[in-house]
Structure 1
């Protein structure tokens, strides 16, 4: 068993503290749905409270770092960047679906060095540090070894109603007709963690933010997987689109995606 680095211990402390409150909030969702109360306001508060707990804990240990968070934006500091997503999978949270993640990662010199993803509902704690592998609840993670697309299960992100993509279904068709099945988790962080775990053989999505994927990218790489843009270009911190898989399937999936008529709807 790999001993967790000190920074991962601190990240774990932060996400578990935030997760304790978030899991209680999750338990209230069903009651709010029954009572037809304003769930939107409740979830917004849950998001902000989770972020506050994370920042309070992390800034105690790393007061000089720069912070980038989905809700609060950028808090300027030194060259060490800590990226936060209080709730990845907000729509799942609203509907009482237990597929959510609290995400924290560290970036130094444009490189993701450490990252965690915590699902407080399932108590899955994923972590990775550069050169130390990828782990979940003390178990070493490895990407799958499948090399036949027809035997593979692929994770996907489908656009929100207000984010339509021209010919997006064509891109989906290029894969779904050739694989064992598509899965939409509704939380990119969890998708990537499941690729690292070998539960999913690959995952692709478009128009994502850094806080959605930073920890997951490191998890996949440390689990022996490959991460690029769907086009085949190298993935970097400014990339909006992502393809992650084991190295056996990566090229064939990428080639099939580029056969589609996918274009970003600019309207």
Structure 2
């Protein structure tokens, strides 16, 4: 990864380091029946503050809300932050939660995504894409380390496609496909898509991460289509077929 991507990754790791500890602590709390929502909200706030302090060293503009994306004027580069997607999973000690950071540039009034990084703290995985350099995953475990290139699947049949989506899209997905998965974390589902483990993803458009999603899919050999607040992502072979079913 390029130097400034490494700086963002380091900031995300610092912000999420305590989440690994909290995740294992929450596993033990499940049996006690204790309410964990307040605990996790505090964790989310801590992630946001730590990320802000770390990223502020490199980027003057840091945006944490979809509502602020269009209304914030900036020059040079800015960081878009999805603070903690999959918070409900963290509350139940499920490992499908993530932090996503997209670095965008304002080039003569055109907003362009330069980098997109997703950190899955409980799984010790970081997915990232740099414009023109492909999409990659770094796994850190007892027997796996280093970066590997990732690409979308080569699936061609929409009937056999494995599809995921947001909560609001599940009804439409079940009507159109027989292999549907729901993870309650669109960023986790996105990592499965760019690594070829699922074949299509549909979700509500979120401005805080739209540019990053599009960059990750492009660099992983996939395609996206956004219309009326719905984003559809898949490989190129399935894209038109899935659009016809869903739009």
TM-score band (shorter)? 0.7 to 0.9
Counterpart in the other structure of 1:262: none
Hey, what does 1:250 align to over in structure 2? 239
| Higher share in strand | 2
* CA spacing shift, 1:71–1:221, aligned 2, 3 Å: closer
Q: Deviations over 1:225-262 (max 9, x none)?
A: 00112xxx4xxxxx73210000000000000012xxxx
Which of 11, 25, 29 aligns to 2:26? It is 29
Structure 1 residues 16 and 222: alpha-carbon distance in aligned structure 2, compared to 1, 3 A threshold: same
Comparing 70-79 and 136-145, the one that deviates more? 70-79
Matches of 2:16 and 2:206, distance apart in 1 = 22
> 2: distance between equivalents of 1:11 and 1:120?
15
Q: Once the two structures are superposed, what CA deviation does each residue of 1:75-110 show, in whole Å capped at 9, x if it has no partner?
A: 967322211112111111111110111111111132
Indicate if the aligned counterparts of 1:228 and 1:242 stay in contact, CA closer than 8 A. Answer: yes
**Separation of aligned partners in 2, 1:185 and 1:93:** 12
Aligned length: 233
- CA distance, structure 2, for counterparts of residue 88 and residue 157 of structure 1: 12
The 5 A counterparts of 1:1-267 are 4-62=1-59, 64=60, 66-70=61-65, 78-79=74-75, 80-109=77-106, 110-137=111-138, 138-159=147-168, 169=171, 171-177=172-178, 181-206=179-204, 208-229=205-226, 233=227, 240-258=229-247
Alpha-carbon shift at residue 55 of structure 1 (Å): 1.2
Unaligned segments of structure 1, at least 5 residues: 160-164, 234-238, 259-267
Measured on the aligned residues, the alpha-carbon RMSD in Å equals: 2.3
Q: TM-score, normalised by structure 2?
A: 0.86
Partners of 1:85 and 1:240 in 2: CA distance? 18
Q: Structure 1 CA distance, aligned partners of 2:219 and 2:66?
A: 28
What's the CA shift for 1:72?
A: 11
Secondary structure of residue in 1 paired with 2:12? helix
Distance 1:86 1:184, change over 3 A: same
Name the CA shift for 1:18/1:256 in 2 (closer, same or farther; >3 Å): same
Per-residue CA deviation, residues 33-53 of structure 1 (Å, 9 max, x unaligned), is 334334121111000101111
Residue pair 2:81, 2:208 contacting (<8 A) in 1 also: yes
